[in-house]
């Protein structure tokens, strides 16, 4: 009985849990509640992924209203995988949050923090699961509004301007998305994704549809921070509370990328997106420019969280490059990298959270010699950092391998060379941190810096361990990504 309502529960559980969390008031209680809910959500996502992998995609009609009149949730390999990523990151980050939040957020706001987190989680899961275009916008706003609040909770006053900047850019993006969806509705009279996909080809030569596509793509690219629409991201990630940065970096942009996949491939269809509109060349140029520009900027950052934020922009470039290939192999690489990057970047930001917890700063010059004082945290940082570079036996290597294989399949040799050259930039920015941590003498010997608490180390090591484990045992992410890519390209499934 309950099994049939899994898709609804996936959203309903965190949504209903959020106001309850507010009512709990006590900090520890709301933390425990949010953690518990995160785990429940993770279990639900897991069960659904299992179900799609064995039984194929399935639909759920919300409230029993038949599609296309009611809202429909549709779960297939792709969004079940994204749901799992979001839920898993939430489940890993929450145990970590207690110590970190206690250090970074004023006491009276902590209950609100967990409430906003649950809302944000709801929004991200909702965007991913829904089969209704307007519903995407609604959940997008839920997740965005709550993430503005979460970012603004950062201890640095700059967090406020960062949140405001994000609010302006995010609202522009959301508005564009809404305009795009509105135009689609005007031309087809439907908001159901499957229905849209059927009706759009008949009107695809009309100007409103072209405009809808343009508005929609620009809006989504703003949300997913494709270079050069990424300007909101570095500050937002740098000044948000550590937990928020880790959570958002691993999930928020990824969910937007999912939306792009869904609209470009499932709704507008491959032939419209890539033959009628030269999306391929646009994405290729922008993603390559983004990879290089953001990696180079990352090298010159002194704040490690900002450095990692720019690295995220570069990594999004890799993900979008896979889309630009318009092939099963390219999409597999792209989806795979969503998973892999979420793990690595989550781990790296959690490490920085632990450093901030102990020394109150994430500036490179304040981290001199920290490798000796916080050996476990920094070891994890090195391992996850190696993943970002793409060293074998880490997930980053698997992503890069697949991406380059896909690029070579297309015969785009220069692009393959550029991808490899860009990894060298990652070597430089990661190594700046490693060198400071291990080979520069710390000057703050008077302040006794200790290792982070175990409650922070365990989540760090879960993600770091995953970044190695899935670099060796690749069948789960790879199989799912390949299956999802096939479905997107309309082959099999």
Partner 1 sequence: MTGSIAIIAALLVPLIGVLGIVGARHKPNLRETVTLVTATCLFILVASLLTPVLSGARPSVTLLEVLPGLSIAFEVEPLGLIFALVASLLWIVTSVYAIGYMRGHHEKNQTRFYAYFAVALSSTMGIAFAGNMFTLFIFYEVLTLSTYPLVTHSGTAAAKKGGRTYFGILIGTSIAFQLLAVIITYVTVGTLDFTQGGILAGKASDVVIGLLLLLYVFGVGKAALMPFHRWLPAAMVAPTPVSALLHAVAVVKAGVFTILKVSVYIFGLDLLADIGVRDFLMWLAAASILIASVIAIRQDNLKRRLAYSTISQLAYIVLGAMLATEAGIVGGAMHITMHAFGKITLFFCAGAILVATHKTEISDMKGLGRVMPITMTAYTIGALSIIGAPPMGGLWSKWMLGMAALEAGEVAMIGVLMLSSLLSIGYLLPVSIQAFFNTPDPQKDGKPVFKEAPALSVAALSFTALGCIALFLFPDPLLHLANLIVAPVN
Q: With binding defined as CB under 8 A, does residue 478 bind partner 1? A: yes
Query: Is the CB of residue 467 less than 8 Å from the CB of residue 394?
Result: yes
Least distance to partner 1, CB of residue 430, Å: 11
Q: Which is nearer to partner 1, 238 or 333 (by Cβ)?
A: 333
Distance CA 406, CA 403 (A): 5
- Degrees (nearest 5) of the Cα angle 482, 484, 490? 105
Q: Are the C-beta atoms of residues 111 and 21 closer than 8 Å to each other?
A: yes
- Report CA-CA distances (Å) from 433 to 179, 352, 381, 391, 452: 43, 11, 9, 17, 18
Restricted to residues 266-305, the positions that interact with partner 1 (CB under 8 A) are: none
Considering only 408, 447, 454, 458, the residue that binds partner 1 (CB under 8 A) is 408
C-beta closer to partner 1: residue 231 or 468: 468
Tokens of 459: 């989540």
Can residue 391 be called a binding residue for partner 1 (CB under 8 A)?
yes
Distance of closest approach, residue 372 Cβ to partner 1, in angstroms? 11
Task: Write the CB contacts of 104 (distance below 8 Å, at least 6 apart in sequence).
Answer: 153, 154, 155, 241, 242, 243, 356, 357
Pick the binder of partner 1 from 171, 214, 405, 486 (CB under 8 A): 405
Q: Exactly one of 121, 163, 314, 398 binds partner 1 (CB under 8 A); which one? A: 398
Indicate which single residue of 409, 447, 458, 490 sits in contact with partner 1 (rule: CB under 8 A).
409
Q: Kindly identify the residues of this chain, within the stretch 417-446, that bind partner 1 according to CB under 8 A.
A: 417, 420-421, 423-424, 427, 431, 435, 438-439, 441
Cβ closest to partner 1, residue 262 vs residue 400: 400
Cα–Cα distances (Å) from 397 to 290, 319, 440, in that order, read 20, 14, 29
Using CB under 8 A as the binding rule, whether residue 386 contacts partner 1 is answered as yes
Secondary structure, 3-state, 41-64: HHHHHHHHHHHHHHHCCEEEEHHH
Which residues lie below 8 Å from residue 480, measured CB to CB, with a gap of 6+?
49, 53, 77, 80, 81, 335
CA distances for 447 relative to 37, 155, 303, 358, 362, angstroms: 38, 21, 21, 10, 16
Give me the residue label for tokens 């969390």: 21
Select 225 or 370, whichever has its Cβ closest to partner 1.
Answer: 370
Would you say 80 or 407 has its CB closer to partner 1? 407
365 binds partner 1 (CB under 8 A): no
474 near partner 1 (CB under 8 A): yes
Confirm if 163 and 145 have CB atoms less than 8 A apart: no
From 13-21, 85-93, 113-121, 392-400, give the range in contact with partner 1 by CB under 8 A.
392-400
Nearest CB to partner 1, comparing residues 168 and 421: 421
**Residue 485 is encoded by which pair of tokens?**
């890519």
Q: CB of 413: closest distance to partner 1 in angstroms?
A: 9
Interface contacts to partner 1, rule CB under 8 A: 386, 389-393, 398, 400-402, 404-405, 408-409, 416-417, 420-421, 423-424, 427, 431, 435, 438-439, 441, 471-474, 478
């Amino acid at each position: 009985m309950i099994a049939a309502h899994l898709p609804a529960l996936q959203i309903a559980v965190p949504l209903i849990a959020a106001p309850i969390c507010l009512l709990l008031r006590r900090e520890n209680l709301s933390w425990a509640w949010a953690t518990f809910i995160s785990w429940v959500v993770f279990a639900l996502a897991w069960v659904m992924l299992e179900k799609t992998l064995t039984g194929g995609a399935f639909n759920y009609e919300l409230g029993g209203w038949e599609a296309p009149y009611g809202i429909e949730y549709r779960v297939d390999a792709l969004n079940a995988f994204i749901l799992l990523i979001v839920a898993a990151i939430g489940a890993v980050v929450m145990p970590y949050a207690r110590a970190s939040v206690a250090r970074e957020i004023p006491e009276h706001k902590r209950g609100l923090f967990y409430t906003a987190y649950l809302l944000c989680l709801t929004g991200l899961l909702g965007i991913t699961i829904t089969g209704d275009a307007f519903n995407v916008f609604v959940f997008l706003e839920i997740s965005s509004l709550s993430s503005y609040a979460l970012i603004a909770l950062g201890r640095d006053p700059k967090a406020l301007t960062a949140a405001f900047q994000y609010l302006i850019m995010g609202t522009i993006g959301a508005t564009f998305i809404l305009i795009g969806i509105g135009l689609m509705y005007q031309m087809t009279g439907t908001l159901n994704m499957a229905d849209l996909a059927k009706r759009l080809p008949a009107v695809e030569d009309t100007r409103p549809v072209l405009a809808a596509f343009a508005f929609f793509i620009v809006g989504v690219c703003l949300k997913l921070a494709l270079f050069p629409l990424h300007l909101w991201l570095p500050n937002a990630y740098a000044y948000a509370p550590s937990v928020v940065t880790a959570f958002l970096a691993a999930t928020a942009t990824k969910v937007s990328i999912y939306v792009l996949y869904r609209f470009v491939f499932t709704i507008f269809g491959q032939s419209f997106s890539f033959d009628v509109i030269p999306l391929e060349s646009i994405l290729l140029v922008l993603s390559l420019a983004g990879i290089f520009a953001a990696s180079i900027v990352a090298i010159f950052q002194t704040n490690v969280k900002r450095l990692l934020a720019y690295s995220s922009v570069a990594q999004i470039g890799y993900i979008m490059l896979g889309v630009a290939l318009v092939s099963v192999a390219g999409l597999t690489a792209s989806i795979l990298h969503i998973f892999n990057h979420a793990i690595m970047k989550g781990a790296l930001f959690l490490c920085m959270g632990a450093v901030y917890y102990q020394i109150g700063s994430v500036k490179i010059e304040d981290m001199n010699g920290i490798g000796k004082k916080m050996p476990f945290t920094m070891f994890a940082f090195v391992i996850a950092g190696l993943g970002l570079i793409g060293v074998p036996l880490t997930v980053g290597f698997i992503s890069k391998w697949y991406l380059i294989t896909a690029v070579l399949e297309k015969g785009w040799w220069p692009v393959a060379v550029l991808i490899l050259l860009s990894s060298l930039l990652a070597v430089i920015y990661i190594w700046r941190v490693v060198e400071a941590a291990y080979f520069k003498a710390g000057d703050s010997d008077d302040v006794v810096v200790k290792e982070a608490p175990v409650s922070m180390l365990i989540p760090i090591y879960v993600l770091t361990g995953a970044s190695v484990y899935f670099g060796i045992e690749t069948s789960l992410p790879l199989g799912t990504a390949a299956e999802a890519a096939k479905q997107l390209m309309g082959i099999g499934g």
